[in-house]
């Protein structure tokens, strides 16, 4: 892992729908590991907004494999993933590597041809970095979050402020 950049994403987007699947393919990606809560849908929601459903269809039409990687329990993750027809890894333990390895196996891709998309620096971006994977940070889709996530947001805000002072700031607040 590049320890000088463990919490600096490679790219930022206001939402997953702002990412162009065609551009991801042009960058050489064949797979996407995507967080669930506040990346694909609001916290504890079992359905995607129509724009996200459309984005997922476009991504798959471009040949991108998409796997959900979540620290949530299996029932919660399956309630979203199964109707969407997506493989998933629950109880991922992000930022630990094991969940990312399982997601890569489900996708049949290697780390260098897979991007990670999520809304948290301390789980999604750090986990991607630990696997030497491309990390995309998106803004959370809703303000409502799990208590544990809310408690980490203050660390993210402090880190983002530090990045901004160094000229590496995010285009939005964490």
CA gyration radius for the chain?
A: 15
Q: Domain boundaries in the chain?
A: 11-165
Say whether 75 sits in a helix, a strand or coil: helix
Handedness of CA 81, 99, 16, 36 (dihedral sign): positive
Q: Indicate the pTM of the whole model.
A: 0.86
Q: Cα–Cα distances in Å, from 34 out to 14, 124, 138?
A: 15, 9, 11
State which fold the 11-165 domain adopts: Rossmann fold (3.40.50)
Provide the residue-wise pLDDT of the chain in tens; the chain has 174 residues. 444 577 788 888 999 999 999 999 999 999 999 999 989 988 777 777 889 999 999 999 999 999 999 999 999 999 999 999 999 999 999 999 999 999 999 999 999 999 999 998 889 999 999 999 999 999 887 555 555 655 676 677 777 777 777 776 555 544
């Amino acid at each position: 892992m590049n320890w000088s950049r463990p919490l600096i994403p490679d790219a930022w987007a206001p939402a997953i729908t702002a990412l162009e699947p065609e551009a991801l393919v042009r960058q050489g990606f064949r797979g996407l590991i995507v967080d669930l809560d506040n990346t694909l849908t609001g916290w504890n929601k079992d359905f995607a907004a129509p724009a996200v459903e459309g984005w997922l269809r476009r991504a798959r039409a471009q040949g991108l494999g998409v796997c959900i990687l979540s620290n949530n329990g299996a029932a919660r993750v399956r309630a979203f993933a199964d109707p969407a027809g997506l493989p998933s890894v629950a109880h991922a333990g992000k930022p630990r590597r094991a969940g990312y390895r399982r997601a890569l196996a489900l996708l049949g891709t290697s780390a260098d041809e897979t991007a990670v998309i999520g809304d948290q620096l301390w789980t999604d971006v750090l986990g991607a970095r630990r696997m030497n994977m491309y990390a995309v940070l998106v803004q959370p889709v809703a303000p409502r979050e799990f208590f544990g996530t809310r408690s980490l947001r203050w660390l993210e805000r402090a880190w983002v402020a530090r990045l901004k002072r160094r000229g590496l700031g995010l285009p939005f607040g964490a």
